């Protein structure tokens, strides 16, 4: 193997640049050329491919987002699009591909491998931490710390005004960000896509807290909760109870941006080196994951077939601590 390609796809996450840097420098260390592919599979189809050297990735380990940019690509979902993508890889002499992204990005890599024999290795880049085959994804730690900081700031004003605040965090299918940031932020309740939600039960918890002397409360809501987010839930609580004077804050895309934490930088760096070494060793159709602090290679299909699930004991802990 002499040349490898590198792309980022799907939603961006803090630490993607650290992973790009690691792949480029590990490849250079091992005598390989690296080609960066702009805008994910869209750039691969359009041939937007250029060399990347170790100086091109200087000073990016601390930057959020991705210097290769990212995009969603409907054309790649069609056989003709994938054939064009494979032809562009062949045109540039690229023999292996590192794909940084979520399960949708992995499914694209799996099809390239299955249909055209392209050796692909995936790196898990998503703030949701909802990919099977790994305990943690690149960007998750930064996202929960960003959410926690926002919760801390909102609690100050909630305490000042004796109000209930509903804070919406990202997580359409996974409540991982909501759960961890909620516990870290001392939330009174946490609403998740994975758990059936009862407005009546939430109201009863608020009343119980009030009887115990609580004058303000923080409710964390994953955007994918069954009520459709914090706005809808806050209105339901207002309509069905005496808690009319509540407020809603949607943290939104703030969780995706910003400088990655030390944990995300180190995780991305380790995974990037491991991906390059896996390609050199002849591996293909695999993803790099971490389990118990140890890196491992797993089939790409684990990403969507074995979704990461948090320990539901965490929800019980959150309720215990909300007294």
Q: Report which of 74, 139, 69, 64 is spatially closest to residue 104, judged by C-alpha positions.
A: 74
Q: What is the dihedral of CA 140, 145, 146, 150, to 10 degrees?
A: 140
Tokens of 131: 């990919």
**Size of the chain in residues:** 323
Residue 56: active-site member? no
Question: Position of tokens 């260390």?
Answer: 29
Contact between residue 197 and residue 225 where contact means Cβ atoms under 8 Å apart: yes
Q: How many CB atoms lie within 10 A of CB 297?
A: 18
Question: Position of tokens 């215990």?
Answer: 320
**Which segments of 127-244 are extended strands (E)?**
164-169, 189-191, 217-222
Per annotation, catalytic residue among 128, 130, 141, 189: 128
Give the separation between CA 178 and CA 162, rounded to whole angstroms. Answer: 23
Give the separation between CA 146 and CA 310, rounded to whole angstroms. Answer: 19
Whole-angstrom CA distances from 248 to 151, 166, 322 are 12, 5, 20
Active site residues: 128
């Amino acid at each position: 193997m002499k040349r490898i390609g590198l792309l980022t796809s799907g939603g961006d996450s803090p630490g993607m640049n650290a992973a790009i840097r690691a792949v480029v420098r590990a490849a250079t260390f091992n005598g390989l050329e690296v080609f960066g592919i702009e805008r994910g599979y869209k750039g691969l189809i359009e041939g937007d491919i250029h060399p990347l050297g170790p100086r091109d990735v200087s000073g990016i380990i601390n930057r959020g987002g991705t210097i290769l940019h990212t995009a969603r690509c409907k054309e790649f979902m069609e056989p003709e699009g994938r054939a064009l993508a494979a032809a562009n890889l062949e045109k540039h002499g690229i023999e292996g591909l590192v794909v940084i992204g979520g399960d949708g990005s992995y499914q694209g890599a799996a099809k390239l491998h299955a249909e055209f024999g392209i050796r692909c290795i995936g790196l898990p880049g998503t703030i949701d931490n909802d990919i099977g085959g790994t305990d943690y994804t690149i960007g998750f730690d930064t996202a929960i710390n960003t959410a926690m900081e926002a919760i801390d700031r909102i609690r100050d004003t909630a305490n000042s005004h004796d109000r209930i605040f509903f804070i919406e965090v990202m997580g359409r299918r996974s409540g991982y960000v909501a759960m961890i940031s909620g516990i870290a932020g001392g939330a009174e309740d946490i609403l998740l896509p994975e758990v059936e939600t009862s407005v009546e039960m939430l109201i009863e918890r608020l009343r119980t807290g009030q009887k115990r002397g609580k004058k303000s409360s923080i409710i964390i809501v994953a955007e994918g909760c069954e009520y459709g987010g914090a706005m809808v839930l806050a209105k339901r609580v207002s309509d069905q109870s005496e808690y009319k004077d509540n407020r809603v804050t949607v943290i939104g895309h703030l969780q995706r941006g910003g400088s990655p934490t030390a944990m995300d930088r180190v995780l991305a760096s380790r995974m990037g080196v491991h991906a390059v070494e896996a390609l050199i060793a002849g591996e293909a159709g695999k993803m790099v994951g971490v389990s118990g602090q140890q890196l491992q290679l797993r089939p790409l299909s684990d990403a969507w077939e074995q979704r990461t699930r948090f320990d539901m004991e965490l929800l019980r802990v959150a309720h215990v601590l909300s007294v």
